[in-house]
Amino acid sequence: MKIDFQGCTVLITGASMGVGAATARAFARYGADLVLIARGREKLEALASELAIPDRVAIEALDVTDTEGFQAVLDRAHKRFGSIDVLVNNAGFHQRGPVESVDAEALGRMIDVNLKAPIMLTRLVLPYLQKSYKPAIINVASLAGRTPVAGSATYSTGKFGLRVFGMALAEELRESGIKVASVSPGPIDTGFIMDDIDSVSDLTFSQPIVTAEQVADEIIKLATGNRRETSMPRLSGYLTTLTYLFPALGRAVRPMLERKGQRTKARLKAQNKSE
């Protein structure tokens, strides 16, 4: 199937780096007009300059929890490009550690950014998508949202909720033509985990690491295909399902997975030191 987003406007949150930036590049290759949203303007400007398609890119420095500001973004984007067709809820926040060691405000912000904001932004964008000929909402969830992860309890909660919200919304909109889907990656080779590697759980690194570009490719596939969810890697998705359904199994295999993750983490740290 030929992929073509010419004439489509794609909004991407958390667009200044990592998966968001890779997703912007992917949609740009397929002709989309882009609205790139992140808190920091400088990195957005650098990405827009790299893309070198000034007539097709708008940048918006915005915290995704600012829903009033997001409504203004929608109004500007629609006025400039004439339609809004795809929303990629990618922005995320994670402060790692047991609940008792994380500041209460940070716990609340994880829910605000990872769950509350995508729900509210989705609600605000729906009237625009209802007028689109190729509408889609793609949520960037996580393997941590498929099975409870100790040390990431609140992050797991937010991503679990985002997946369930997407599933329920897909049913609500089943007759509307609006595609709703989620991608649930494991560890991604971006600064989101690599810059904070010592705080990332060993369990996380027990799963194969994917690239931001691979996640972006999956987002494109979800926006154009029939699947409602994909896990990355798919085998890890099956594993998270088993450990969710059978908690005793999860506890039994956890030490083995943690040892594997420890080895991977040590290798990555040694690799980073040598570069």
Give Rg (Cα) of the chain.
Answer: 18
**What pLDDT sits at residue 218?**
97
Q: How far apart are CA 189 and CA 17, in angstroms?
A: 12
Largest CA distance in the chain: 56
226: tokens are 């029939």
Are 96 and 151 in contact by the 8 Å Cβ rule? The answer is yes
Q: How far apart are CA 141 and CA 53, in angstroms?
A: 29
What is the domain range of residue 35?
A: 9-274
DSSP designation for 226: S
Are 142 and 155 in contact by the 8 Å Cβ rule? The answer is yes
Asked whether residue 2 is domain-assigned, the answer is no
Q: How far apart are CA 9 and CA 179, in angstroms?
A: 15
236: tokens are 């890890």
Main-chain phi, psi angles of 145, to 5 degrees: -90, 0
Asked whether residue 3 is domain-assigned, the answer is no
Active site positions, annotated: 155
Among residues 41, 37, 108, the alpha carbon closest in space to that of 71 is found at 37
Asked whether residue 4 is domain-assigned, the answer is no
Among residues 176, 175, 169, the alpha carbon closest in space to that of 228 is found at 169
**Residue type at 240 in one-letter notation:** T
Domain count, the chain: 1
One DSSP character per residue, 35-84 reads EEEES-HHHHHHHHHHHT-GGGEEEEE--TT-HHHHHHHHHHHHHHHS--
Q: What is the helix (H) or strand (E) element at residue 244, kind and residue range?
A: helix 234-245
Asked whether residue 1 is domain-assigned, the answer is no
DSSP designation for 188: B
CATH number of 63's domain: 3.40.50.720
Residue 185's DSSP bridge partners are 232
DSSP designation for 208: P
Length of the chain: 275
Q: Is the pTM of this model over 0.85?
A: yes
Asked whether residue 66 is domain-assigned, the answer is yes
- Predicted confidence pLDDT, tens digits, the chain (275 residues): 688 999 999 999 999 999 999 999 999 999 999 999 999 999 999 999 999 999 999 999 999 999 999 999 999 999 999 999 999 999 999 999 999 999 999 999 999 999 999 999 999 999 999 999 999 999 999 999 998 888 899 999 999 999 999 999 999 999 999 999 999 999 888 776 777 777 788 888 888 889 999 999 999 999 999 999 999 989 899 999 999 999 998 899 888 988 998 898 888 877 777 65
DSSP strands (E only) in 145-228: 179-185
Asked whether residue 266 is domain-assigned, the answer is yes
**Residue type at 133 in one-letter notation:** Y
Asked whether residue 191 is domain-assigned, the answer is yes
104: tokens are 């209460």
**What pLDDT sits at residue 108?**
97
**What pLDDT sits at residue 267?**
86
Find where tokens 């596939």 sit: 221
